[in-house]
Amino acid sequence: MSLVREVETLLAPGGRLSQRWPRYEERTVQRELALDIARVVEQGGVLLAEAPTGVGKSLAYLLPAVLHARGGERRVVVATCTRSLQDQLFERDLPALLEAVDLRLPCARLKGKQNYLCPRALQQTDGRGAEEDETLDELRRWAAADEEGDLDRFPASDPEAMRRLRGRLGADPHACTMLTCRKGRECYWVRARRAAAQARVVIVNHALLAISGEVEGLLPDFDVLVVDEAHRLEGVLLGQLEVAVSRNRVEEVLRLVGTGRRRGNRAAAPRGNPAGLLARVRGFALPLFTAGKGSASAEREELDALAARVAHARGDADRFFEAIEPRGERHEVYGARERYRSALELIGRDLAPLEAILSHCNRFARSLHLLAEDLDSLRAGETADDLVGELEQAGGRFAQLGADLGHLAEATHRDWVYWRSAGGRGVELHGAPVSVGDHARRLVIGRARSAFLTSATLSTGGDFGFLAERLGLGESRGLPYETASYPSPFPLARQMKVFVYEGGGSEAEAVSEVVAALALATGRNQLVLFTAHERLRRVRERLLSSLEASGPLLAQEWDGPASLLAERFRLERGAVLLGVQSLWEGVDFPGEALEILVVAKLPFSVPDEPLVEARGDRLREQGLDPFQHDAVPEAVLRFRQGVGRLIRRSDDRGVLVVCDPRLVTASYRRAFLESLPVAPERTRDARALAAGAARFLGVPAGAAETVAPLSPPTPGAPADPGSVEWP
């Protein structure tokens, strides 16, 4: 029986899945999607499938995947953007499906290396305060009984303490290798990779998929690739390929070998590593060198020279980052950001500060490697093995720092864009490819015989060309693709009411007025989405006093990270959550958790942002308009993702308010309007808008809380960023 026929039989009304799948619902669209996927799996090729929320995408792609993987040496890789969806697929959906179809199949979950507990890091890390000490004790007890060491699955009683510790406990994604770590049999990452190599279905995240094409053996070979949340793949690829060097990164590697203390900095180093790697090598290894070779003078001299070099390197790093600091105007909140195209433009004709840092990196890398070789030759037991591994890791990090800094300073890759920034984290250098299409095609999507990419938002006005271009797909690139769009199973036209607020004034004034009026009239949960932190801050200041008598006001970063605020928001009623970036997509607020969505502004990228500017330059070279061919379709996809937060179930009802008149007045409005299930109502009266929202949501008169008058903006508040904006 063909795969298509088998999938059709299993999903048919009265079929095996309807009887044995615990959450089975009769969904015609889901069956159509599953059959299309099965056809591509059988015949090969690439399918881009836009399937809205509620279709049941997980079952639609998992069913043909497991049926295909049961035969011979076939392997399917399923990639998701969020680790939470990855865990859901592996722990809930996949086991339930295998049981329903009566299949036994080796399956594995594989995440990025930094998500796994490093046994050596756990042994060496000490807490900075009582909360961290208690969390480390919990973690040690958990690790003694847990076979996976997946830090996402650690049930910390103090999540905030664990958040602070996590970066010091995970395996180092860059410096940690089998050659530098002598605890391979204890390493959770090694265990996870071994399990993936033996599995027929492997569930990964986009970040791991993005780098697997460049790291041999990171993922076993596969013939079928499924990418869920595929609209986010390009951004993850960019994040993985971007290179950055900062003063803080230099300091981190110096702390590995030095004391971890700078003049004027009273913060002590971690108690488990009070004096740095060089001091521990001196105390432990010099007696071994003396006993083994009769003299340790060469090693002692080398350790002395490296210890002295730490201070010199710090001084040279300070001089280098002072020399490359942007000289233009600096915004009070956003700092400064400048694109550069050559070493001359970056640092001028005096290359001495750059050459000094590169020399330090080269010397540390070479010397630490030689010290590791000398110590390894003594075969002095487990402690020596640990020190050898640390020396190799530290040397590797210096070597990588030097390579990255050289690449960024030269700025010679025509297909890359380079920029420097100065802000709260100091001066930083950045570089990224202008396009990830070649990487996506050759090293990710093109590795599979059959590839299926799905999301609720892959097209603009029914056209998949924008995303396909970004991912390097198409006939001209040697990787043709098919497309398919599926209707929403929800009656969205009855579930959603849309308003456009044209009340005038600044963005902060308009959004604050609307949010306050909605809180007064409805008392329902509101999510307010912004395109910039500074604009969120302005609205937060205006709402702080006016919403005192209503539900809680939560603001991303001010009141916690997005993940923690999302959990709190789901439990509240009458709350207002102000968010940027990460809250535009990937969060689920069903039912009463979210009934009003306010979009402060259409989500265009800032045109003078270096990567956007570089893409624009390339489009102009091709005779194309960057605004029409890049900015608009990208903004439409982001807008659709944001709007998608509102209706998550068939019985949800929600109100969308867009405080940007361009939605109904701009020449490009059609692309945005076509993404809405109903035509918007235009109004300049915030109270009338709120009354209409209350009627649609069925709020009884007088049921909402009282809201105080809006507070005025803070005197002397900085202006909005001076960046150019699209019309």
Give whichever of 31-35, 139-143, 585-589 has the largest mean pLDDT: 31-35
Rounded average pLDDT over 675-685:
95
Rounded average pLDDT over 451-465:
94
Token code pair at residue 9: 């039989």
Same domain membership, residue 391 and residue 291: yes
Confidence (pLDDT) at 175: 57
CB 566 within 8 A of CB 583: yes
Token code pair at residue 63: 């069913």
Tell me how many helices (H) and strands (E) the chain has: 30, 18
Residue 433 lies in a domain: no
Confidence (pLDDT) at 721: 46
Element (H, E) at 147: none
Confidence (pLDDT) at 582: 85
Residue 195 lies in a domain: no
Q: Which of 148-162, 523-537, 671-685 has the lowest mean pLDDT?
A: 148-162
Same domain membership, residue 688 and residue 540: yes
What does the mean pLDDT of the chain come to?
87
Kindly tell me if the per-residue pLDDT of 84 is higher than 70. Answer: yes
Rounded average pLDDT over 177-204:
79
Quick one: CA dihedral 171, 177, 181, 183, positive or negative?
A: positive
Residue 239 lies in a domain: no
Q: Which of residues 186, 208, 236 is at a domain's end?
A: 186
Give percent above pLDDT 90 in the chain: 58
Same domain membership, residue 477 and residue 540: no
Name the pairing type of β-strands 496-501 and 416-423: unpaired
For residues 184 and 569, which has the higher predicted lDDT (pLDDT)? 569
Q: Which residue is it, tokens 């019985």?
A: 651
Which letter does DSSP use for residue 506 in this model? -
| Chain segment 530-584, per-residue pLDDT in tens | 999 889 999 999 998 777 666 789 999 888 888 888 889 999 999 999 999 889 9
Same domain membership, residue 206 and residue 180: no
N-term to C-term CA, the chain:
57
Rounded average pLDDT over 43-69:
94
Rounded average pLDDT over 619-627:
95
Domain extent for 531: 492-697
Q: Which amino acid is at 582?
A: S
Same domain membership, residue 355 and residue 272: yes
Hey, what long-range contacts does 436-440 have (CB within 8 A, 24 or more apart)? 436/234, 436/237, 436/238, 436/241, 436/470, 436/471, 436/472, 437/469, 437/470, 437/471, 437/472, 437/473, 437/477, 438/472, 439/213, 439/237, 439/241, 439/472, 440/233, 440/234, 440/237, 440/470, 440/471, 440/472
Residue 387 lies in a domain: yes
Q: Which of residues 439, 466, 485 is at a domain's end?
A: 485
Residue 230 lies in a domain: no
pLDDT-derived band at 662 (thresholds 50, 70, 90) equals very high
Confidence (pLDDT) at 260: 44
Confidence (pLDDT) at 271: 41
Rounded average pLDDT over 164-171:
82
Same domain membership, residue 499 and residue 476: no
Kindly tell me if the per-residue pLDDT of 261 is higher than 70. Answer: no
Q: Which of 55-59, 96-100, 546-550, 597-601 has the lowest mean pLDDT?
A: 546-550
Rounded average pLDDT over 625-639:
95
Residue 192 lies in a domain: no
Token code pair at residue 205: 């995240």
What CATH number has the domain bearing residue 14?
3.40.50.300
Same domain membership, residue 513 and residue 370: no
Confidence (pLDDT) at 484: 96
Q: Please report, to the nearest 10 degrees, the dihedral formed by the alpha carbons of residues 460, 463, 465, 468 taken in order.
A: 80
Confidence (pLDDT) at 293: 55
- The residues near 137 (Cβ < 8 Å, ≥ 6 apart) are none
Residue 229 lies in a domain: no
Q: Which residue is it, tokens 């649609």?
A: 696
| Chain segment 391-404, per-residue pLDDT in tens | 888 899 999 999 99
Question: Domain count of the chain?
Answer: 4
Q: Compute and round to an integer the Cα radius of gyration of the chain.
A: 28
Rounded average pLDDT over 452-480:
94
Same domain membership, residue 660 and residue 558: yes
For residues 137 and 83, which has the higher predicted lDDT (pLDDT)? 137
Q: Which of 283-287, 418-422, 713-717 has the lowest mean pLDDT?
A: 713-717
CB 665 within 8 A of CB 655: no
Cα–Cα dist 128/268, whole Å: 9
Confidence (pLDDT) at 274: 44
Same domain membership, residue 546 and residue 686: yes
- Give Cα 243 distance to the centre of its chain: 15
Q: Which of residues 485, 510, 533 is at a domain's end?
A: 485
Confidence (pLDDT) at 172: 67
Rounded average pLDDT over 498-509:
91
Confidence (pLDDT) at 316: 95
pLDDT-derived band at 75 (thresholds 50, 70, 90) equals very high
Kindly tell me if the per-residue pLDDT of 438 is higher than 90. Answer: yes
Same domain membership, residue 276 and residue 405: yes
pLDDT-derived band at 711 (thresholds 50, 70, 90) equals very low
Confidence (pLDDT) at 112: 82
| Chain segment 85-124, per-residue pLDDT in tens | 888 899 999 999 999 999 999 999 998 888 888 887 887 7
Q: Which of 21-25, 176-180, 427-431, 668-672 has the lowest mean pLDDT?
A: 176-180
| Chain segment 339-362, per-residue pLDDT in tens | 999 999 999 999 999 999 999 999
Same domain membership, residue 457 and residue 371: no
Cα–Cα dist 641/675, whole Å: 10
Q: Which of 67-81, 117-131, 570-584, 633-647 has the lowest mean pLDDT?
A: 117-131
Rounded average pLDDT over 293-303:
73
pLDDT-derived band at 273 (thresholds 50, 70, 90) equals very low
- Give Cα 290 distance to the centre of its chain: 50
Rounded average pLDDT over 630-645:
95
Same domain membership, residue 508 and residue 403: no
Nearest CA to 491 among 267, 664, 678? 678
Residue 530 lies in a domain: yes
| Chain segment 141-159, per-residue pLDDT in tens | 998 888 888 888 888 888 8
Nearest CA to 45 among 462, 485, 478? 478
